[in-house]
Amino acid sequence: MSKIVIGEYSMAATFGAKSTTEDVLKGVDLKGKRILVTGVSAGLGVETARALVAHGADVVGAARDLEKAKRATSEVSKAAAETGANFELIELDLANLKSVRAAADKLVADGRLFDVIIANAGVMATPFGKTADGFETQFGTNHLGHFVFVNRIAKLIKNGGRLVNLASSGHRFSNVDLNDLGFATTPYEPFVAYGRSKTANILFAVEFDRRHRGRGVRAAAVHPGGIQTELARHMNPGSLEQMVKQINEQAAAEGKGPFEFKTVPQGTATSVWTAVVAPAEEIGGRYCENCHVSNIVADDVRLGLLDEGVRAYALDAQNAAALWKKSEELVGETF
């Protein structure tokens, strides 16, 4: 059992795979905190914003489609009204660096600081395509969009603040391939591309943490778990069911129970736990799942899809530094 201290609030608690946002935030007062969440037009982003404002935090939600986000966040606005929290939206298209830079510039001009940035938005298993800037869709959206956005507003993170990157156990599908990020020489496979982008999300957190921990800012990556959200919208009909069937067959062969989807509040719990509950020194530069820091598993050790664990390549400091350098070259900015 770990002791958790937040401001004047202290408690002993253990959380796990079935914990919800309300479980991890029970008794937590976030009044006075200001938090930025990307991807607030559906799923995890909406619940993240709702849970935070319900406990008093002021939240800025970023989304590509503001009209869709306004409709999706009606409950967030209601919760904010009840607690006296402020909730506002900002336009951000992570697949277009012109939009990314405009959003960042707007926030910098505003000048108000953030306690936490939760980089939640993303796409999964898309058909082969390219962003407005010519990058492979998943790497360009999930990694490079957030890389530019977060680095441009990094100075707005208060000393002692945090960055939480939404990653996935899907990082196990592939390490990053810095020599062929656009699949110019290898056949495109949607989940390999997704894996590369999610590994990049973790590596970005590792290097960001190294660069900013001197002023107490810590960064971590999180795996929310398997949740049925809009993230799967690019998958072919029936392919998700087939994937679950394969997972369950493998689990049965290993004497394990069947896979269970998490609810959205359960899937959001690890993001919130990492952002405002867990001790900073515990999560800094790490990968979290099921509301705890995950163990590193060597790259040659077999992992079932129901097993916890983060691949060593995803937390490798040299890998993280190399990705940072390559990302700067790709976007034409040095941070």
Residue 128: helix, strand or coil by DSSP?
Answer: coil
* 112 to 63, 81, 92, 102, 212: CA distances (angstroms): 19, 21, 18, 16, 19
Residue 36: helix, strand or coil by DSSP?
Answer: strand
Query: Whole-angstrom Cα distance, residue 217 to residue 160?
Result: 5
Residues 6+ apart with CB under 8 A from 126: 137, 138, 190, 193, 234
CB distance 224 to 294 below 8 Å = no
* Residue 188 among the catalytic residues: yes
Query: Residue 67's Cα: distance from chain center in Å?
Result: 23
Place of tokens 């935090």: 57
Tell me, letter by letter, the H, E, C secondary structure of 264-314: HHHHHHHHHHHHHHCCHHHHCCCEEECCEECCEECCCCCCCCCCCCEEHHH
Element (H, E) at 233: none
Query: Whole-angstrom Cα distance, residue 40 to residue 28?
Result: 22
Tokens of 130: 């390219």
* 219 to 262, 274, 313, 325: CA distances (angstroms): 24, 9, 17, 18
Among the listed residues 9, 188, 287, 313, the single catalytic one is 188
Catalytic positions, please? 188
